[in-house]
A and B are shown apart, each in its own frame.
Chain A
Amino acid sequence: MSVRPRSPRALGWLITGLGLAAGAALWEIVGRETGAAFMAPLSETLLRLAELAHTGELWQALASSLALFGAGFALSVAVGVPLGLLLARMRLLRIALESYIAILNATPIAALIPFILSLMGFGFAPKVLVVFLFAVFPILYNTVEGARSIRPELIEVARSFRSTERALWRDVLLPFVLPFALTGIRQAIGRALVGMIAAEFFLSASGLGMMLQSASQSFDTATIFAAILLVTLLGVALMELGGALERRYAAWRNIRT
C-alpha cells in the first residue's frame, strides 16, 4: 500500500491531515485514560456538540457571541480606519493623541474591564466597548503606517493629470491605504475574539463565554471542549476570511513595481 501524492501541494495536505488525525487520536486516548472531569475525549465532545446543536443551545450562544463580535469589530473598523487616515494627514491631531494611543495600546485591555463595568454596568454596550478596545489598535496603527508611506510621486502624477482632491482620495490615497488597513483588520480579528470571550466572562455572561463558564462550574468537560472547539473554528474561519480579503486587495503590495 503506497501513497503517491501527485504534487508537493498534495503532499502538504496529506501531512496536515495526518497531523490533525494524530492530534485527534491523542485527544481521544488521553480523554479515555483520564477521568471525564479532567478531559472529555474527542468523541464525547463531538457528541455534545451535536446535542447542543440539536437543542438549539449552541446556535443561541453562537448568535449572541457573533452579534457581540460583529458590533465591536465593526465599530473598531469604522473608527480605526478613518481615525488612522486623519492621524496620518493631520500632524497636530497626531501629536495631541499619540501618547494616549500608545498608552492605551500598551495597557492590557482586560485590566480595564472592572473600570468599564463600574462605569457602564452590565448591558450590551460595555461588552461592545471591550471588543472594540481589543480590536481597534492594530487597525489604527496599520492604517496610519499605510497613509504615511504613500509614494509622493503618485500624488504628483495625480496632480499632473489635474486630479481634484476628491478624485485623489478615490484613485490614490484610499487604494494605497487599503491593503495596510486590511492587514490591521486581519490582526484585529484574533484580538476581537479574545475581547469577545473576556467580555462574556467578566461582564454580563452571555454566548459562548457563558457556556464555557457554566460548564466549567459543573466540571462538564464535554461542553467546555465543545465550546472551545467552536470558538477555535470560528477564529480560524474569520482569519481565513480576513486573509482572503487581504490577498484579494493587497496583491500589488508585496511586489516591487
Chain B
Amino acid sequence: MSEEAAAICISVRNAGKRYDALEVFAGIDLEIGQRQIVALVGPSGCGKTTLLRSIDGLIPLSAGVIAIDGAPVTEPRTGVAMVFQHFGLFPWKTVYDNVAYGLRLAGASRRELGEKVPYFVNLVGLRGFEAAYPYQISGGMQQRCGLARALATEPSVMLMDEPFAAVDAQTREILQFELLRIWDMRPMTMVFVTHSIEEAVLMGDRVVVLKGRPSTVFETVAVDLPRPRNRQTLGLARFNELREHVWSTLMDEARRAEFSVSG
C-alpha cells in the first residue's frame, strides 16, 4: 500500500545529532510519503524524540538535511503540527482557547475560529467541555485537547511525540482508536514516536527501528495490515507476527541497555 503514496512528503537524509561528545544518532535516512504513517521505535535515549523535534524545526541537526515537501526545515513551518507527550496545554486557557491557540497565531478571523474550533472540539469528543480549564479535566481529555489544537491548524503533517505515554492503559487504547478514526476521515502524513511496540504496529504503515550508539535505522518493517484499522486489527494473526518481529528486533538492545551503567 505504500506504493500508491508516490509523492515524498518528508525526507531525512544522513541526519546526525550530537551534544558535545555524545553522538545521539547518525546517518539516518528516511523517506515518508504523503499520508503515510511512520512509527519510530527504539530504546530510551536513542534520539527518536530528538529526531521528531528536528523534523518540526525545533532542534537543529548536527549533520544532514531534513526536507518537507522539498523545502529544507530550518524552523517550525505551517502545515506541520506537533502533539506533545506532556500535552503542553496552557493551564490558564480554557479548552476552547487552547484549541484556538494555533489558529489565532496563524491569524484566523473570528468567523474562522467560530467555525473551526467547535468542529475540532467536537471531533475529539470534547463537546461540552469548551469552558473547562485543563486542570479540571482528566489526562485523556487533556490530550484530546492537545490533539484538537494540532488538528485545528489543518496540518498536512502531524508529529506525535509519545502522545499517549502519559495516560493510563485503558485511556491509551481508546485514544489510539480515536486517532485512527480521525486519520481515516482526514488522512495525513504522520510521524509517530512511541515506546509501545503494539502501538507502533497498530498505527504505522512502517515501523522504523532505531538502534545502536549512535543510533541509526536498524530495520524498517512494512506493516501490511489493512485499513481502516480498529479493535479487530489487534486480533489478526498478522498483527501478532509483526509485533513479535519488532519486539525481537528491539529486545537484544533493550536487554543490553538495561544492564549498561552509562544509560
Whether chain B is bound by chain A comes out as yes
* Chain A residues within 8 Å of B, Cβ to Cβ: 153-154, 156-157, 159-164, 167, 171-172, 175-176, 178, 249, 251-253, 255-257
Q: Check if B88 sits within 8 Å of A154, measured CB to CB.
A: yes
Bound CA span A159–B56, Å:
10
Residues of A close to B76: CB separation below 8 A: 159-162
Q: Check if A162 sits within 8 Å of B135, measured CB to CB.
A: no
Interface SS majority for chain A: helix
Bound CA span A164–B142, Å:
25
The number of residues on chain B lying at the interface, defined by a beta carbon within 8 Å of a beta carbon of chain A, is 25
Q: Check if A172 sits within 8 Å of B105, measured CB to CB.
A: no
Q: Check if A252 sits within 8 Å of B56, measured CB to CB.
A: no
Chain A, residue nearest B86 (CB): A153
Not counting A161-B76, A162-B77, a sample of 13 additional A-B residue pairs whose C-beta atoms are within 8 angstroms of each other reads A159-B58, A160-B58, A160-B82, A161-B102, A162-B105, A162-B106, A167-B105, A172-B90, A175-B92, A176-B92, A249-B92, A251-B133, A257-B91
Q: List 10 A-B contacts (CB under 8 A).
A: A154-B88, A156-B88, A157-B84, A159-B76, A160-B76, A162-B75, A163-B105, A164-B105, A252-B134, A257-B142
* Chain B residues within 8 Å of A, Cβ to Cβ: 56, 58, 75-78, 81-82, 84, 86-92, 101-102, 105-106, 133-135, 142, 153
Residues of A close to B106: CB separation below 8 A: 162
Q: Check if B101 sits within 8 Å of A171, measured CB to CB.
A: yes
Residues of A close to B90: CB separation below 8 A: 154, 157, 171-172, 175
Residues of B close to A161: CB separation below 8 A: 76, 81, 101-102, 105, 153
Given contacts A153-B84, A171-B101, A175-B90, contact A252 B78 (CB under 8 A): no
Taking a contact as CB atoms closer than 8 A, the residue among B87, B92, B142 that contacts A252 in the complex is: B92
Residues of B close to A171: CB separation below 8 A: 90, 101, 105
> Measured between C-beta atoms, what is the minimum distance from B207 to chain A in Å?
25
Q: Check if B58 sits within 8 Å of A156, measured CB to CB.
A: yes
> Measured between C-beta atoms, what is the minimum distance from A175 to chain B in Å?
5
Bound CA span A255–B87, Å:
16
Residues of A close to B88: CB separation below 8 A: 153-154, 156-157
Chain A, residue nearest B78 (CB): A162
Bound CA span A253–B82, Å:
25
Chain B, residue nearest A161 (CB): B102
Residues of B close to A167: CB separation below 8 A: 105
Identify the 3 closest CB pairs spanning chains A and B, nearest first: A157-B88, A252-B91, A255-B135
Residues of B close to A252: CB separation below 8 A: 91-92, 133-135
Bound CA span A161–B146, Å:
12
